[in-house]
Amino acid sequence: MATDLRLPTHKIVHPDKDRFLNEENPFEAMMSRFDRAAELLDLEPGIYQVLRNAEKQLIVSIPVQLDNGNVEVYTGYRVLYNTSRGPAKGGIRFDLQVTLEEVKALAAWMTWKCAVVNIPFGGSKGGVVCDPLKMSVGELERLTRRYTAGIISVLGPDSDVPAPDVNTNERVMAWVMDTYSMRVGHTVTAVVTGKPVEMGGSLGRREATGRGCMLVTKEALEHLGMPVRGTTVSIQGFGNVGSVAAEMLEREGCKITAIGDRSGCIYNPGGIDVVDAIKYVRKHKTLEGYNNGDPISGDELLTLDVDVLLPAALENVITSKNASKVRAKVIVEGANGPTTAGADAILDEKGIFVVPDILANAGGVTVSYFEWVQDRGGYFWSEETVNDRLRDIMTRSFRDVLSLSRQHKVNMRTAAYMLAISRVSTVHKLRGIYA
């Protein structure tokens, strides 16, 4: 895919360009990056207006009868940001911190993420405001099915395809698929991805995001002339993404010197035995009590003197307040939005090479695309085939973004947004505006 963008000569009016940026508002942070890339692309004003607005935003009330007989009403969201390149694609999260602004930002990020790796999806996201850790399996199932019924008008393999996200998993996707299938009267495996292999899930899907992080880390190290073997890595977040990335980077010869989750963080300059840590977490659910290293704070983990920092947990952990203390040479964003817009310039000034989230963690949606393709065709691939095709897409996408970064003398994040926006805007121009 050529990346020598031929830029038009239009003038964009940015209605909110001079407003004060709340760097912890995820949608404002996303839009500030979008505006920067759109300005460099000299994006046509009409297309600019289309791309800065979500196509659909749903808010649904979800009454659930609890095990004790009481009825609780939860709030759910589903945002389809853009579907010009194909069906919307995006996860569903269950969390007390879910807001419409967050869901809208994540849907936009999914739009750009799918475009960066050039898969034929648009972007969406969903969430329910709840505390799943305090709910029984039965309550979670009733919540999931009623939420699915509430948003079913937008769901479908040709319109909007959910996947797991924060506090959701294969079982939740199975409930979504079953609810949708019962409504339409036949089994539709392609309506969700990230479901159990036994019901149409893809081999390699669970490891895909972490594997993608490993692949782009290796590409970044090669670009910077740094050897993979012996590279020191600290990883914030030891769930599915962080633990898989840690294990695979260790296998490649990296030394994982710090890991952490919500229960605590540990540091071992000699290297942590990642396989042992994963076994511990499988048994105890968190890293709490794991003693293969010295306890450190979450803030300390982010500012260790390491080669690579891989934030793979929360949004807004690297901000204008702590970015100047970050000492890693490379940041690979395994989480969505771990770096605020206010921190970008500080990291640039420090010469830190950042592989942005819309590229770094795109392995998950790429293999979700593979799962959708396999379901649609009724023909399933070996895990080796899945991993080989993932490697091809992630490495090619990294090199596309790097090429654009060099061509326009911008950082990797801006280049990734430029590439994504150019691909989405091209389709809008070709399709025109329906009237």
Query: What pLDDT is attached to residue 413?
Result: 97
Look at residues 96, 102, 31 and name the one whose alpha carbon lies nearest to residue 336: 102
pLDDT at 21: 56
The yes-or-no verdict on residue 6 having pLDDT over 60 is: no
Residue 247 reports pLDDT greater than 50: yes
Q: What integer best gives the mean pLDDT of the chain? A: 93
With cut-offs at 50, 70 and 90, classify the pLDDT of residue 314: confident
Query: In this model, does residue 435 exceed pLDDT 90?
Result: no
**Which whole number is the average pLDDT over 172-184?**
98
Please list, in sequence order, all residues whose beta carbon lies within 8 angstroms of the beta carbon of residue 65, skipping any fewer than 6 positions away.
71, 142
Q: Are 42 and 8 in contact (CB under 8 A)?
A: yes
Q: Where are the domains of the chain?
A: 54-188, 208-360
Give Cα 116 to chain centroid, integer Å: 12
pLDDT, tens only, 148-168: 999 999 999 999 999 999 899
From 331, 433, 284, 407, select the one nearest 6 (Cα to Cα): 407
Rounded to 10 degrees, what is the CA torsion of 111, 112, 118, 120? 10
Q: Map tokens 């290293």 to a residue.
A: 293
**What pLDDT does 1 receive?**
43
What pLDDT is stored for residue 420 in this prediction? 98
Q: Look at residue 3 and tell me whether its pLDDT is greater than 80.
A: no
Report yes or no: 311 and 237 within 8 Å, Cβ to Cβ: yes
From 104, 125, 218, 329, the catalytic residue: 125
Tens-digit pLDDT profile for residues 185-196: 999 999 999 999
208-360 matches 54-188 in CATH topology: yes
Q: Which of 137, 192, 209, 252 is nearest to 375 (CA)?
A: 192
Given this model, what pLDDT does residue 10 score? 43
125 is known as an active-site residue: yes
pLDDT at 7: 42
- 294-to-263, 325, 345 alpha-carbon distances in Å: 14, 20, 32
Q: What tens digit of pLDDT does each residue of 323-366 get? A: 999 999 999 999 988 999 999 999 999 999 999 999 999 999 99
Query: What's the mean pLDDT in 411-419?
Result: 98
Mean pLDDT of 223-236: 97
Instruction: Write the Ramachandran bin of 254: left for phi over 0, alpha for psi from -120 to 50, otherwise beta.
Output: beta
Check pLDDT > 60 for residue 39. Answer: yes
Q: Are 344 and 413 in contact (CB under 8 A)?
A: yes
User: What pLDDT is stored for residue 5 in this prediction?
Assistant: 52
pLDDT at 138: 98
pLDDT number for residue 35: 94
Return d(Cα 234, Cα 232) in angstroms, integer. 7
Instruction: Please report the pLDDT score of residue 63 as a whole number.
Output: 98
Provide, rounded to the nearest whole percent, the portion of the chain with pLDDT above 90: 89
Question: What's residue 166's pLDDT?
Answer: 87
In the numeric block, the tokens 């290796």 are attached to 218
Task: Tell me: pLDDT of 143 over 60.
Answer: yes
The predicted-structure confidence for 372-390, as pLDDT tens digits, reads as follows 999 999 999 999 999 999 9
Which CATH code of 3.40.50.12280, 3.30.565.10, 3.40.50.10860, 1.10.540.10 fits the domain covering 54-188? 3.40.50.10860
Q: Are 352 and 330 in contact (CB under 8 A)?
A: yes
For residues 423 and 85, what is the distance between their CA atoms, to the nearest angstrom?
Answer: 9
- In this predicted structure, what is the pLDDT of residue 9? 40
In 3D, which of 211, 292, 285 has the Cα closest to residue 244?
Answer: 211
The predicted structure's pLDDT at residue 2: 43
CB 113 within 8 A of CB 365: yes
Query: CATH says 208-360 is which class?
Result: alpha beta
Tell me the sheet residues that pair with 419.
none
Under the banding of pLDDT at 50, 70 and 90, the label for residue 56 is very high
pLDDT at 433: 86
Q: Residue 247: how many CB atoms within 10 A of its CB? A: 19
pLDDT at 20 over 80: no
Compute the distance between CA of residue 410 and CA of residue 172 in angstroms, rounded to an integer: 40
Q: What is the pLDDT of residue 127?
A: 98
Judge whether 239 and 312 are in contact, CB under 8 Å. Answer: yes
